[in-house]
Amino acid sequence: MLTFCQNCGFISNVAFDSRQQEYSSCYEGTQAFSAKFNSFHKSLAMRLIERYDLHNKNIIEIGCGQGEFLMLLCRLGGNRGIGFDPAYSGRGNKIQQNDQITIIRDFYSEKYANYQADFICCKMTLEHIERTADFVSTIRQSIGNRKKTIVFFQVPDVGRVLRDLAFWDIYYEHCSYFSVCSLAYLFRNCGFYVLNLWRDYGNQYLMIEARPDTGQGSSSLSQEDNLTDLSQSVKSFVQNYPNKLNEWRQKLSEIEQSRKRAVIWGASSKGVAFLTTLKIQDEIKYAVDINPHKHGTFMAGTGHQIVSPDFLRELKPDVVIAMNPIYYNEIRQYLKRLNVLAEVIPV
């Protein structure tokens, strides 16, 4: 059950129960097998290194996953890093815990407040946290009087989800949804001075850069959304997303009636939400993913088998539904190399 705060624009699942999910080393969420994503990751790391002179500095990443971004920050800037993530397994990367990088397989909390850093980053994690103000306040308290410490957070942009009627981007694991205004509001109210707000990766991600507030307070930035406009987007989504569901049901029905073979490309949360929300079974044959750690496993909820792109040589699908439009060209290139002639439909 999602609720919308008229005062700050925050959207949250008030029925969320963290006991209903497990986040451990069994979780496979890396995006590092995509050249498109790796290019974005590297350019983001370089931008932050240059902007904040991150050279020979101490860096903490909260929710570091398999540590790919932390490794970039340390390698490109000659920094030392500490990553926190209970799902870290060491699969698929070359991170070695040494004097430069240490990974702590645990959730970040106040018990780690003694770990100090010049730069604290947290990417695609805050949306999984129910009590966001408590979490951000814990980080602010751990910084203490170190006024030059910079924090950087990245979260999905709920404004795009609302505008695009992207129902596949709403799922249980995401209990907190941020717009530009609600993200800035959160950090200001937790004792931070907001330095910068921006969107990236096809306007899918929101970025915030902040430092501890020294007492002067930070005024609203020009990038911040108008709450009235955001409220209207919420109303429009509620009214129109059923039509979006019907459009996709009709499209999939036409594909099936035409005896065309269809697959989805992207066996992550978007794919799960797409299949389960539409209650899809036979209309889609398989879920394709470039992450080899997922191959031979099955989609949660619907049980669709996850296969490698190479499997499409045998299947020869007629339609490939791209679960993230930003990978459209990358998918087309894969299909061309495989000599698979299929229509690619982005969600």
pLDDT digits (tens, 9 = 90+) for 171-217: 999 999 999 999 999 999 999 999 999 999 999 999 999 999 987 76
Inter-residue contact 146 to 195 (CB < 8 Å): no
Q: So what's the pLDDT on residue 96?
A: 53
> Between 98 and 227, where is the model more confident?
227
Lowest mean pLDDT among 178-187, 221-230, 263-272: 221-230
pLDDT digits (tens, 9 = 90+) for 64-122: 999 999 999 999 999 999 999 999 987 655 555 556 899 999 999 999 999 999 999 99
Give the span between the Cα atoms of 132 and 142, in whole angstroms: 16
pLDDT digits (tens, 9 = 90+) for 10-63: 999 998 887 777 665 566 668 888 999 999 999 999 999 999 999 999 999 999
At residue 157 the predicted structure's pLDDT band, cuts being 50, 70 and 90, is very high
Q: Is the pLDDT of residue 147 over 60?
A: yes
Q: Is the pLDDT of residue 223 over 70?
A: no
Chain-wide mean pLDDT for the chain? Answer: 92
Q: What domains lie within the chain, and their CATH numbers?
A: 2-228 (3.40.50.150), 258-346 (3.40.50.720)
Lowest mean pLDDT among 48-62, 217-231, 264-278: 217-231
> CB neighbours of 83 closer than 8 A, spacing ≥ 6?
60, 61, 64, 67, 70, 101, 102, 103, 104
Q: So what's the pLDDT on residue 224?
A: 67
Q: What percent of the chain has pLDDT over 70?
A: 92
Verdict on whether the full-model pTM lies above 0.85: yes
What integer is the mean pLDDT of 284-294?
A: 95
Q: Which of left, alpha, beta for 246 (phi over 0: left; psi -120 to 50: alpha)?
A: alpha
Closest alpha carbon to 152 in 52, 265, 75: 52
Q: So what's the pLDDT on residue 7?
A: 87
Give the span between the Cα atoms of 118 and 96, in whole angstroms: 22
